[in-house]
Chain A
Amino acid sequence: MAELTNANAPEGFQNDPRVPDELKNNVFITSLDKIYNWGRKRSVWPMLFGLACCAIEMIATAASRHDLSRFGWELMRASPRQADLMIVSGTVTKKMIPQIVRLYNQMPEPRYVIAMGACATAGGPFKEGYNVVSGVDKFIPVDVYITGCPPRPEALLHSFIKLQEKIEKQSLRNVPWYQKGEEDVVPIPVLGPDLVDLRRAQEIREKAAQAAPTQEQPAA
């Protein structure tokens, strides 16, 4: 938001009789969207939530050299109820994804997700692993992706700036969390013989009924 001074205040307002004298120079006119987003973007509280190696770089970002506080984001909350941002910092495993989804559902809206590093983005070096989910976006929506293994702290800071840009562009009129209708809750996946994504239950059932699993798949 541009600085509003008396000099560049809109014509007419300087002498508006409705504004008492002592408030002159203290009243700024802006749109609700702007002031709302301006406040929001500088007080995003990330969740204190580390998964793997990338979390070490996240902690380093919060430390004095890189200093997250410059963005007003230093208040990491251990409870999802008090957080706006989930930084998925590390490998998302099948055993962990039910908890991640649950935490995501517990965060109040508006909520944002940063997928930090190759693993959270797409599975990373461990993609082929049997216990690894190929990217957290298979389950929860992601706002910003950062490349790197691990991304440098600067890259994480960059993602914050990107997220701020995104927040700035949102408008109260059409943000999802003020719309009518059901809240968009992701069903928590279940650990069975393998990870079961309940949104795809029907499809899984059909395929399991007709196809033998890849267990016997011939070598390439």
Chain B
Amino acid sequence: MAEETTNPPPAETPAAPKAAPTAKPASPASAGAKPAAAKPAAAKPAGHAAPKGPPLATLTPELVQLQQQFGESVITPAPYVGVLVNDPSKLRDVMTYVRDQLGFDMLANATAVDYIKEGYIEVVYHPQRSKGGQPITLKVRVPRGNDPVAPTEVAVPSLTPIYAGAEFQEREIYDMYGVRFEGHPDLRRILTWEGFYGWPLRKDWHEPYYEGDTKPFDSRWPGGHHELAEERVPWADNVNYPPGFDPLNFNANPDAGLYDTMISGVPGVEEIASNGHAQRSPQFKGVGAAVPVLDRNYNNLADEEELQTDQIIVNMGPQHPSTHGVLRMVVKLDGETVTDLKLVLGYLHRNHEKIGERNTWLHNIPYTDRLDYICGIANELGYVITVEKMMGIKPTERAEYLRVIMTELTRIESHFWAIGFLLNDLGAFYTPALYFITERDLILDLFESVTGSRLMCNYMRFGGVSRDLTEDQLMHARQLAFDRIPRKIDELEQLLTDNEIIKARTIGVGYLPADRSINYSLTGPCLRAAGVPYDIRRVDPYSIYDRFDFEIPVFYGADVYDRYRVRVAEMRQSLRIVQQALNQLDQTKPGDIQAGKKAYNHRVPAGEAYGRVETPKGELGFYLVSDGGQNPYRYHVRSSSFINLNSLKEMTVGHKVADAVVILGSLDIVLGEVDR
């Protein structure tokens, strides 16, 4: 699998290699093939100033095939990327064809864009193949209503029967744009609450502290007059009510509909629950079967009849020590067994996307740090390469290496954290985590000395990075990569991998087989623990990952134990990458960390792009639309934590409630990225 995907077919990746020639027509065509460090730098200013960016996506053979199949109902509007399904009622047919005939079995991303001038909202889908390659883009349009509260009149067919991973994404689109999805099993608001006034990401919806459409705000120019936000709004606060709202007399029900589907019983759940456990992974060999206490089925203990219990609904969170932040899990319990589970998200919804659409392009880099705050630098890379793709610039050689070193260190650091807190969830409270936090702190020391901050590094720039590593810092990095961390990973494995308690509690728990994982668009270590060698660094390489010798660790248990093992193995692979990168760094020119001039204002050519990277949690994608100005017209974050959470229910139902905590821990979510 790995060999098959190492070299992407060049025709399908218009991004990096072809970028330079297109941006600067005069440059020789040979500039594309592994150029010397100076060459792309020379091409850069031209690319930057050129009015048109590189073609972001061409009509791939799949799209051509799709058009032949569906004829008139699938069209390609000229300046746009991808194809448009111009009859929404055909969407399901098209998507079924895309999944079954073309092999795009994962829905990488679904989002929407409000084209207010044209009067429609465009729903954008990015299906992709779990075998690798680039995603394709499909769109449908629905007329946007102008009613601030009512959802759109025309509904889009829900894709949940085709891609299970669409569920949360469609709910998010509904929540943010008011697009209705027909046939969705549970179409409620997800990030805000039921009863929220308006559709926040529509362009004509303004937040209470609204000051202007784009930053920098006029009122903030030197000499201009600036009022405090509190003084500008009538409520003197960050709130906004519909006219005539009476706060003493209204019906508040932020959880409307939440318990409905749970109480009525969800189809399929009963039978899984009735035999006391979910599907076992094939790897499950009954560890501890000889020890009666560890026989988790309790088969011979009593007659099932005698143990009849009532079902109760329990809220875990949003303030709960094991929910990894402000996540709320609503579980239906039969005794100790989880028979249903719902998630309530949005307790950390910080309006990342709305703020991102007001910010300038550069402004957004520090914000991406705050998405998945365990591994800030990895998020920055995702954003930066997407914008670079649109601008058609390429970072310098040294910057590429520094990026790789830093992001891979982040991966190690993030996995340390994930494993430490997985043990927390298993009941080994804090002591194991202390060991890993100690190692993590050493990596953070390097980040801090280079970037000035431990977590929020703000390190990447378009076309480069903000700082080079000094000799001392390189020494520190070498010491970590060649000596300290390898030793510590060995130690970690000695302590944990064969630990009997860990095995007894994790093997076979949270099983989700490969086909279901793919259908749920699960990405990251969780997918690789289910036997799918899907890692964007390999299947759709970005930056300079194609130069390094590393493996994609894959395990086949699809359970918590293998998710743990994948993470450990990945840390070793990341170390390999860091070591190679550190060794090759000498061949680059010190200080050459920024292509072109440093700039505060970037104009990004009109167009759109979907760029993605493999963060420690999975696929982090950025869907950006530019109208040629200083600010993104649309700024969407496809967050892996958010989409991975979709599958939590299926993993958990049938297990004990104590395992629910462990399964959540094995997903390794970060709420900043879930709720954005």
Chain A interface residues toward B at CB < 8 A: 48-53, 55-57, 59-60, 62-65, 78, 90-91, 93, 95-96, 99, 103, 123, 125-134, 138, 149-150, 152, 190-198, 200-202, 204-205, 207-209, 211-215, 217, 219-220
How far, in angstroms, from A202 to B247 measured CA to CA in the complex?
Answer: 8
B53, CB-defined interface residue at 8 Å: no
| A152 & B454 in contact (Cβ 8 Å cutoff) | yes
| B206 & A99 in contact (Cβ 8 Å cutoff) | no
Residue B355 contacts which of A64, A129, A152 (CB distance < 8 angstroms)?
A: A129
Residue B455 contacts which of A53, A90, A194, A204 (CB distance < 8 angstroms)?
A: A53
Interface pairs (22), CB distance under 8 Å: A52-B373, A64-B434, A64-B437, A64-B438, A78-B321, A95-B193, A96-B318, A126-B350, A126-B351, A130-B354, A149-B456, A150-B454, A150-B456, A192-B195, A192-B241, A194-B197, A197-B239, A201-B247, A202-B248, A208-B242, A209-B244, A214-B210
CB distance from A208 to the nearest CB of B (A): 4
B498, CB-defined interface residue at 8 Å: no
How far, in angstroms, from A60 to B234 measured CA to CA in the complex?
Answer: 41
Closest to A59 in B: B437
Closest to A66 in B: B441
Which residues of B lie under 8 Å from residue A62 when comparing CB positions? Answer: 430
How far, in angstroms, from A190 to B370 measured CA to CA in the complex?
Answer: 27
Q: In chain B between 222 and 263, which residues have their CB closer than 8 angstroms to a CB of chain A?
A: 229-230, 233-235, 237-248, 250, 252, 254
Residue A220 contacts which of B191, B197, B212 (CB distance < 8 angstroms)?
A: B212
Closest to A211 in B: B234
Quick one: given A53-B370, A204-B247, are A132 and B454 in contact (CB under 8 Å)?
Answer: no
Residue B325 contacts which of A52, A103, A193 (CB distance < 8 angstroms)?
A: A52
Q: Which residue, of B348, B366, B672, has the highest number of chain A Cβ atoms within 10 A?
A: B348
Quick one: given A131-B349, A220-B217, are A205 and B246 in contact (CB under 8 Å)?
Answer: yes
Quick one: given A127-B209, A130-B200, are A191 and B195 in contact (CB under 8 Å)?
Answer: yes
Quick one: given A60-B441, A138-B237, are A220 and B218 in contact (CB under 8 Å)?
Answer: yes
Q: Which residue, of A96, A127, A130, has the highest number of chain B Cβ atoms within 10 A?
A: A130
Which residues of A lie under 8 Å from residue B229 when comparing CB positions? Answer: 127-128, 134
Which residues of A lie under 8 Å from residue B238 when comparing CB positions? Answer: 123, 127, 130, 132-134
B433, CB-defined interface residue at 8 Å: yes
How far, in angstroms, from A5 to B348 measured CA to CA in the complex?
Answer: 53
Which residues of B lie under 8 Å from residue A215 when comparing CB positions? Answer: 148, 198, 205-206, 240
CB distance from A88 to the nearest CB of B (A): 12
| B235 & A204 in contact (Cβ 8 Å cutoff) | yes
Quick one: given A59-B437, A96-B347, A207-B235, are A150 and B319 in contact (CB under 8 Å)?
Answer: no
B208, CB-defined interface residue at 8 Å: yes
B346, CB-defined interface residue at 8 Å: yes
Quick one: given A131-B351, A138-B237, are A205 and B247 in contact (CB under 8 Å)?
Answer: yes
| Residues of B within 8 A of A (CB-CB), count | 73
B219, CB-defined interface residue at 8 Å: yes
How far, in angstroms, from A215 to B326 measured CA to CA in the complex?
Answer: 30
CB distance from B427 to the nearest CB of A (A): 14
Which residues of B lie under 8 Å from residue A128 when comparing CB positions? Answer: 207, 209-211, 229, 351, 355, 358
How far, in angstroms, from A78 to B373 measured CA to CA in the complex?
Answer: 22
Which residues of B lie under 8 Å from residue A53 when comparing CB positions? Answer: 370, 373, 455-456, 672
How far, in angstroms, from A208 to B211 measured CA to CA in the complex?
Answer: 21
CB distance from B668 to the nearest CB of A (A): 14
How far, in angstroms, from A133 to B351 measured CA to CA in the complex?
Answer: 12
B270, CB-defined interface residue at 8 Å: no
CB distance from B254 to the nearest CB of A (A): 4
Which residues of A lie under 8 Å from residue B355 when comparing CB positions? Answer: 126, 128-129
Interface contacts beyond A96-B347, A130-B354: sample of 5 additional A-B pairs, CB < 8 Å, sorted by A: A50-B326, A60-B441, A95-B193, A194-B241, A213-B242
What are the 3 A-B residue pairs with the smallest beta carbon separation, nearest first? Answer: A129-B351, A193-B197, A53-B373
How far, in angstroms, from A202 to B437 measured CA to CA in the complex?
Answer: 49
Closest to A132 in B: B350
| A125 & B366 in contact (Cβ 8 Å cutoff) | yes
How far, in angstroms, from A123 to B352 measured CA to CA in the complex?
Answer: 13
B298, CB-defined interface residue at 8 Å: no
How far, in angstroms, from A196 to B358 measured CA to CA in the complex?
Answer: 26
| B211 & A49 in contact (Cβ 8 Å cutoff) | no
Closest to B149 in A: A193
B70, CB-defined interface residue at 8 Å: no
How far, in angstroms, from A215 to B248 measured CA to CA in the complex?
Answer: 22
| A63 & B206 in contact (Cβ 8 Å cutoff) | no
Which residues of A lie under 8 Å from residue B158 when comparing CB positions? Answer: none
Which residues of A lie under 8 Å from residue B358 when comparing CB positions? Answer: 128
Residue A204 contacts which of B193, B195, B245 (CB distance < 8 angstroms)?
A: B245
How far, in angstroms, from A152 to B238 measured CA to CA in the complex?
Answer: 28
| A50 & B325 in contact (Cβ 8 Å cutoff) | yes
How far, in angstroms, from A190 to B249 measured CA to CA in the complex?
Answer: 12
B622, CB-defined interface residue at 8 Å: no
Which residues of A lie under 8 Å from residue B349 when comparing CB positions? Answer: 93, 95, 131
Q: In chain B between 347 and 390, which residues have their CB closer than 8 angstroms to a CB of chain A?
A: 347-352, 354-355, 358, 366-367, 370, 373-374
Which residues of B lie under 8 Å from residue A50 when comparing CB positions? Answer: 325-326
Residue B373 contacts which of A56, A195, A204 (CB distance < 8 angstroms)?
A: A56
Closest to A67 in B: B434
Residue B210 contacts which of A91, A193, A217 (CB distance < 8 angstroms)?
A: A217
How far, in angstroms, from A52 to B372 measured CA to CA in the complex?
Answer: 10
How far, in angstroms, from A93 to B192 measured CA to CA in the complex?
Answer: 10
Closest to B376 in A: A53
Residue B248 contacts which of A55, A132, A201, A214 (CB distance < 8 angstroms)?
A: A201
CB distance from B231 to the nearest CB of A (A): 13
Which residues of A lie under 8 Å from residue B348 when comparing CB positions? Answer: 51-52, 90-91, 93, 96
How far, in angstroms, from A211 to B242 measured CA to CA in the complex?
Answer: 10
Quick one: given A60-B437, A204-B245, are A193 and B195 in contact (CB under 8 Å)?
Answer: yes
Which residues of B lie under 8 Å from residue A195 when comparing CB positions? Answer: 239
Which residues of A lie under 8 Å from residue B195 when comparing CB positions? Answer: 191-193
B213, CB-defined interface residue at 8 Å: yes
Quick one: given A56-B373, A194-B240, A204-B241, are A51 and B234 in contact (CB under 8 Å)?
Answer: no
